[in-house]
Amino acid sequence: MLPDQYPTRLERRMNMFYRRDPVIHGNIATATSGPLKQHHLEQYKKEGFLWFENLFSDTAIMDNLLKEFSDLEKDQSIVKSEQAICDSNSGSLRSVFGIHELSEEFARLTVSDLILGMVRQLLGSDVYIHQSRINAKPGFVGGGFNWHSDFETWHAEDGMPSMRAVSASLLLNDNNEFNGPLMLIPGSHRYHVPCQGVTPDENWKRSLKSQQVGVPDTASLKRLINNSGIAAPKGGAGSLLLFECNTLHASQRNLSPWPRANAFFVFNSVENALEKPYAGTCPRPDYLAAREATAGLSQVHHAQQVAM
C-alpha cells in the first residue's frame, strides 16, 4: 500500500495544505493534442473545472438518455437494489449508481471520442470508469448535497492514492438557479482539506443519503469561498461540466417544479489503481468503486470499432 499523502477522517482537526499531485498530468505545454486547447488546460489548472454549454446539441440523444433514465426509475428491480439511493426525507429517487452497466445509451458516452479525448489529456494516460451515477432532484422534493471533495471520499473509503481522476457531468435536463445546480469553489482543488471524524463501518449506506462524515470544516470552507467565491454553471440539457476530483462542490435542494437530473462519469487513470481504503474500512461495493473493470477505455473503444 502506498504511503498516505492525504490524511483525513482524523479524530483531531488538521489544517488544509497544498495538494501533492499535479493538476494537469503530463506536460501542459504538449497536452494539446486533443479536443482541449491551451486556454482550456490553463483554466482547468487554475479553477479546477471546465464548462461546455450545450456541447451535445442533438436533442434526439438527450431524449434517448432521459427515456433511459425514466425506464430505470420504473424498474423496481433497480429501484429496490443497493445501487439505487432514495432521499431520506422525501423518499424520491436520489441516485442510481453503475448506470454505464445498466444502460447501453449511457455506456456509449464513456467511450465518446470527445469526452474520452478530454479526460485523457487532463490525466495524461488511459482511463477507466471508477464510478458512474445519475443524481436526480424531482421538483420541490429533490434534496441537496453538502460541501465535499469527491477525492476525499474516494481516498478514505476506496483507497484511491492520488488526485488523478476527473468527473464528467452531463446535464440531462435544464439546470437553472432554482432547481439546485451544482456549485463549485474555484481553486479549491489546489488544497487538501482533511476532515475530522472517524469513518463508521459501511458508511456509504448512510452517506449516500446524507453525508455527515467527510465534510470539510466551516472555517476552511469560509476561507476558500471568501478567497474565490462560488461558481454555479447553468445551462440546457446536453451541457457538460468537467471537474477535478478534489474540487469542492455542493448543491441546494430543488425549490422549483422543474426536475434536475445529471449523469456523472468518473474517469480514473489506469496508473492510479485503488489500494486498501485509507480510512481502514472495508472496500465499498464495486458499483461505487470499480476494482475489477479497470481496463483502459481506449482499448475498449478500439475493440468496439473493430467489431463494427
pLDDT band at 157 (very low <50, low <70, confident <90, very high): very high
Q: At what angle do helices 297-307 and 113-123 cross, to 10 degrees?
A: 150
Q: What is the pLDDT of residues 5-54, one digit of tens each?
A: 999 999 999 999 999 999 999 765 556 678 999 999 999 999 999 999 99
What pLDDT shows up at residue 124?
Answer: 93
Is residue 23 in a domain?
Answer: no
The average pLDDT across 256-265 equals 96
Structural domain of residue 160, as residue ranges?
39-307
Sign of CA dihedral 150, 138, 61, 307: positive
Is residue 28 in a domain?
Answer: no
Count of CB atoms situated within 10 Å of the CB of 177? 11
Is residue 25 in a domain?
Answer: no
Is residue 29 in a domain?
Answer: no
List % helix, strand, coil for the chain (3-state, nearest 5): 30, 20, 50
CA dist., res. 256 & res. 260, Å (int): 10
Domains held by the chain: number = 1
Is residue 12 in a domain?
Answer: no
Beta bridge partners of 261: 136
> Domain holding 242: CATH number?
2.60.120.620
The pTM for the full model equals: 0.94
